[in-house]
A and B are shown apart, each in its own frame.
Chain A
Amino acid sequence: MTEITEIPSPFCGIGTDDLSIRVDGVALKVTANGCAVNTPAFEQAITDTQPRVAGQATSLETAVAKAAELMRNTRQPVIGGCSTDVNGMRALLAVADKTGAVVDNINFNAARRNLLALQDSGWMNTTLAELKNRCDVLLVVGCDPEAFAPRFFERYLWNDEAMFINDTASREIIYLGKAPSGNASTSPSGRKAAVLPCADADLPEVTAVLSALLKGRPLQAQSVGGIALAGLQAIVDKLKAAQYGVVIWGAGALAFDQAELTVQTLCNIVRDVNLQGNRCSGFPLGGKEGDQTANQVCGWTTGYPARVNFARGYPEYDPYLYDTQAMLKNGEADALMWVQTFNTGAVPPATALPTIVIGRSGMKFDKEPDVFIPVGTPGIDHAGHAFRLDNVVAIRLKKLRDSGLPSTAEVLAAIEQAL
């Protein structure tokens, strides 16, 4: 039995890297700094250790050969999920390049809300250490950071000391839209976050009004989405008076049509505060379990984020056309490869097409895929790299145990060789 410390997590997205874990054979027990997201993700037991073809246990070689056979001679295979580490993603893109596949990250429809805003007008964003040391006013729009990452406030707002904030408990937290699900946003001195609640569907209008107030445009309405304009004006005043305001949103939480326009409005609010002479930054809260890793590696390998098609022999990007679900529904694909090494609950979409799953041990399927190859989880079964949600920081994932499970990269490289 050994105890490993300072373990980085690929699960929570916020780069928590202070976990301690007791390793007993292949059993893991989080002994320090766990949370509701990380602890179960690390402690989940290994169940599958052997690949299956048509539901029958088989050798890795046989499963790899079968996977290659299913991918060979396809006209439009789709590689979905794309939840793995950097080396896994590199190998995945090599397979896609060779087979002319679509590459599509599982959470691209959420990330798309940010990417469309970025690709249309850009943004001014910040990273976690700046938040931790500089942010004196945090505006949370339409998301619930503590549900996303339980230790978000503890690690990055209520830290004992910050370089440029005298008393971190004095930071001002304002929720616009969703109310917090718990008390993590309450300061150590007991001050609760201000909440200006509205329905998600009203956020486009509410943020538009916030933007208009910031620009000093005349407004006739007295309230919007049930929020009095005076409340929104107070937010504007606080952002303008802040030493370093941060506006945080979660693209995944903005589940309404054309939410990219709301993201863009928020990005423009941040930009306008800066243009008016004060500092302010945006912070998109999203990207865990390999989402950012997929977009980053696909970004440097193809020039585009992780929704591309190699069918023409070179990568093409379309944020709508190459959606796995849509392609399966419209009969535009002829094989599905699903790569998901973090989350056993994220199973492939239902399809009658030949299906290969390269997945975390323990996945349960409604319909057994043609090939299932259980692989190790990056950061548990093998070393690797993952990008944090703020995109700048890649964390070095550690190997914690000898499970004998192969890595995604090893399996995909073998499939590529066998093609």
Chain B
Amino acid sequence: MLIKLTGGTVYDPASGIDGQQQDIYIQDGRIVDAPTDGKPVDQEYDLRGKVVMSGAIDMHTHIGGGKGNIARTLLPEDHRMDPVARTSVTRSGNGHAMPSTYVAGYRYAEMGYTAGFEPAVLPINARQAHMEMGDMPILDKGGYVLMGSDDYLLRMMTAKKDQKAINDYVAWTLNAAKGIGIKVVNAGGINAFKFNQRKLDLDEQNVHYEVTPRQILQTLARAVKEIGLTHPLHVHGCNLGVPGNVDTTLNTIQGVEGLPMHLTHIQFHSYGTEGDFKFSSGAAQIAEAINKTPNITADVGQILFGQTVTASGDNMRQHANHKYASPNKWVCMDIECDAGCGVVPFKYKDQNFVNALQWAIGLEIFLLVDDPWRIFLTTDHPNGAPFTSYPHLIRLLMDRSFRNDMLATIHPEAQKMTTLASIEREYTFNEIAIMTRAGAARIIGLKDRGALAPGNWADITVYTENADRQAMFTKPDFVFKDGELVVKDGEVVKVTWGTTHIVKPDYDLSVEKDLQAYFDKYLTMKLGNFKISDDEITEDGRGSLTTHPLRGAA
């Protein structure tokens, strides 16, 4: 079937198209050139006056895995307020902060998103992450495999194994857990918490392994580069949420010797200690450092006011932050000599000085980082806010007067501590399209996604332009996934199943010799039973795997 999208105003930064009126043709799920052989168009959509972008890609969202299911189970009261009834095409479920998988898929699609990436796939919990994402309709998905607090890596580092051996282990793990990138959470800190360390600075040693976070970051960033992954090492830094952590973050930016590194939810790592409350914005310094350091990218992890739940691998920091739990209940887990997790419900309040300033810090970072290809729109769902708040966040970025109206309502002391009111920048459609589409696809390493040139998969979102950007981005007119119309007027009309994006880097097979001995001696599972096979993703008849090329191998 040949579909023609006629006359829309196209924003396709990957192709350098910034608001030009263009026709787009779709056939067999992909965007194709205009037919030259007189082939008739089977279906035409008149998009004159509409805004056309590729489907949005959330490059950091907690959508699959154990901590998310703990968060769901912990908060039945949060679901009760947001039930989602079954329809003739969709399944029932529940929403708000940590929605059920079906509801997450529908709601993402209804906002024009066509892919989401789980940033903390514990290797030992990867099966669950893939099973949950496998029950999330419409969206493509993938995960970053969490390393850096696993005892095997730390043992290797203590034993001074060479980089090649570590690269093999990293590549092996990535294959076994079926990920597309490598994530570090509080490098070595989750492990140190098991030895009763309650904080770990960048250059502080793990008491048992005598390895520092900086060494772990350098080692893994080098592994990622040498293995050839497109996605840079994805780093949740040390000292999350600690006033003064801006210094740690600046030190981290300089600390990886020019290797590619992505700093995630950087808002939570941009805090100074100035002012009466000893809590201040480090956004300007962070943005300046990012602007000056081309190997660094970041996503913001914006907080927005209201009830949510924080779910993180960083049980060291989550344990420290449990005193802010609202409602007052929380979970920490140590997990399988692999990692851990902490789940703490949060209610961010605009009349709370710290929360209000966190809000402003996030927006300052968005607006002060110059290059939209190196900064990404996230709330670290659900940690800063549920992903359903993205349209509101887009309005804050695109509409200065709206932003300043909101600013005028937050805690007055926080207003005094932010430069937000003086920042004139308003994001353009093109910049939004970069942050949420072209840039996201590029940094994840997705081939043939996030762009509208012929040859790409036809993941396309169509909006009606509206001065109220929140309304505009809440309810697209049409969303196409792999060329099929899945959303019309902001509602799911067809349920499809996206693919799972992975990489399969090579490794020396002999890596399994030591691993097998380690598994047999110390772990609770046989090595052969640990590795996830392809059929585990595909045997339900709707899952599929898409392997992306490594750098320089396209």
Whether the pair A304, B73 counts as a contact (CB closer than 8 A) is yes
Whether the pair A97, B92 counts as a contact (CB closer than 8 A) is yes
Q: Which of A117-125, A203-211, A348-356, A359-367 contacts B (4 or more CB under 8 A)?
A: A117-125
Whether the pair B131, A315 counts as a contact (CB closer than 8 A) is no
Whether the pair B333, A127 counts as a contact (CB closer than 8 A) is yes
Interface string of A271-292 (1 = CB under 8 A from B): 0001001110100000000000
**What is the CB-to-nearest-CB distance from B59 to chain A, in angstroms, rounded to a whole number?**
22
Q: Which of B2-10, B98-106, B445-453, B489-497 contacts A (4 or more CB under 8 A)?
A: B98-106
Task: Please tell me which one of the listed residues A295, A301, A314, A393 contacts residue B124 in the complex, with CB atoms under 8 A apart.
Answer: A393
Task: Please tell me which one of the listed residues A8, A120, A295, A392 contacts residue B66 in the complex, with CB atoms under 8 A apart.
Answer: A392
**What is the CB-to-nearest-CB distance from B68 to chain A, in angstroms, rounded to a whole number?**
8
Q: Is the interface of B mostly helix, strand, loop or mixed?
A: mixed
Interface string of A139-175 (1 = CB under 8 A from B): 0000000000000000110011111100000000000
Whether the pair B128, A394 counts as a contact (CB closer than 8 A) is yes
Residues on B with beta carbons closer than 8 Å to the beta carbon of A72 = none
**What is the CB-to-nearest-CB distance from A234 to chain B, in angstroms, rounded to a whole number?**
22
**What is the CB-to-nearest-CB distance from B503 to chain A, in angstroms, rounded to a whole number?**
22
Is B161 part of the binding interface, using a Cβ–Cβ cutoff of 8 Å?
Answer: no
A: interface residue count bin: 35 or more
Task: Please tell me which one of the listed residues A87, A134, A394 contacts residue B127 in the complex, with CB atoms under 8 A apart.
Answer: A394
Task: Please tell me which one of the listed residues A156, A297, A314 contacts residue B85 in the complex, with CB atoms under 8 A apart.
Answer: A314
Is A332 part of the binding interface, using a Cβ–Cβ cutoff of 8 Å?
Answer: no
**What is the CB-to-nearest-CB distance from A110 to chain B, in angstroms, rounded to a whole number?**
16
Is A305 part of the binding interface, using a Cβ–Cβ cutoff of 8 Å?
Answer: yes
- Known A-B contacts A163-B151, A296-B69, A396-B127; the reply to A126 vs B334 at CB < 8 A is yes
Q: Is the interface of A mostly helix, strand, loop or mixed?
A: mixed
Within 8 A of A (CB), among B283-340: 319, 325, 328-338
Is A403 part of the binding interface, using a Cβ–Cβ cutoff of 8 Å?
Answer: no
Is B196 part of the binding interface, using a Cβ–Cβ cutoff of 8 Å?
Answer: yes
Residues on B with beta carbons closer than 8 Å to the beta carbon of A128 = 336, 524
CA distance A374 to B92 in the complex (A): 29
CA distance A328 to B125 in the complex (A): 37
CA distance A125 to B330 in the complex (A): 11
**Chain B residue total in the interface (Cβ 8 A):** 65
Whether the pair A300, B101 counts as a contact (CB closer than 8 A) is yes
Is B523 part of the binding interface, using a Cβ–Cβ cutoff of 8 Å?
Answer: yes
Is A48 part of the binding interface, using a Cβ–Cβ cutoff of 8 Å?
Answer: no
Is B529 part of the binding interface, using a Cβ–Cβ cutoff of 8 Å?
Answer: yes
Task: Please tell me which one of the listed residues B76, B102, B338 contacts residue A317 in the complex, with CB atoms under 8 A apart.
Answer: B76
Within 8 A of B (CB), among A355-399: 383, 385, 387, 391-396
Q: Which of B47-55, B248-256, B532-540 contacts A (4 or more CB under 8 A)?
A: B532-540
Nearest A residue to B541 by beta-carbon distance? A413
Is B525 part of the binding interface, using a Cβ–Cβ cutoff of 8 Å?
Answer: yes
Is A24 part of the binding interface, using a Cβ–Cβ cutoff of 8 Å?
Answer: no
Residues on A with beta carbons closer than 8 Å to the beta carbon of B80 = 316-317
Whether the pair A303, B529 counts as a contact (CB closer than 8 A) is no
Whether the pair B69, A300 counts as a contact (CB closer than 8 A) is yes
- Known A-B contacts A17-B529, A161-B522; the reply to A393 vs B331 at CB < 8 A is no
Task: Please tell me which one of the listed residues B100, B525, B532 contacts residue A301 in the complex, with CB atoms under 8 A apart.
Answer: B100
Nearest B residue to A6 by beta-carbon distance? B526
Is A70 part of the binding interface, using a Cβ–Cβ cutoff of 8 Å?
Answer: no
Is B93 part of the binding interface, using a Cβ–Cβ cutoff of 8 Å?
Answer: yes
Task: Please tell me which one of the listed residues B72, B328, B343, B540 contacts residue A299 in the complex, with CB atoms under 8 A apart.
Answer: B72
Whether the pair A300, B124 counts as a contact (CB closer than 8 A) is no
Residues on B with beta carbons closer than 8 Å to the beta carbon of A15 = 524-525
Chain A positions near chain B (C-beta within 8 angstroms)? 6, 8, 15, 17-18, 86-87, 90, 94, 97-98, 115, 118-130, 132-134, 155-156, 159-164, 244, 274, 277-279, 281, 295-297, 299-305, 310, 312-317, 383, 385, 387, 391-396
Chain B positions near chain A (C-beta within 8 angstroms)? 66, 68-69, 72-76, 79-80, 83-86, 91-94, 98-102, 122, 124-125, 127-128, 131-132, 135, 151, 193-196, 208, 319, 325, 328-338, 343, 521-526, 528-529, 532-533, 535-536, 539-540
Instruction: Enumerate 26 A-B pairs (CB-CB under 8 Å) in ascending A order.
Output: A118-B73, A119-B74, A122-B325, A122-B329, A130-B334, A132-B522, A132-B523, A132-B524, A163-B151, A300-B68, A300-B131, A303-B72, A303-B79, A303-B100, A304-B94, A314-B92, A315-B92, A317-B76, A317-B79, A383-B535, A392-B333, A393-B125, A394-B131, A395-B529, A396-B529, A396-B536
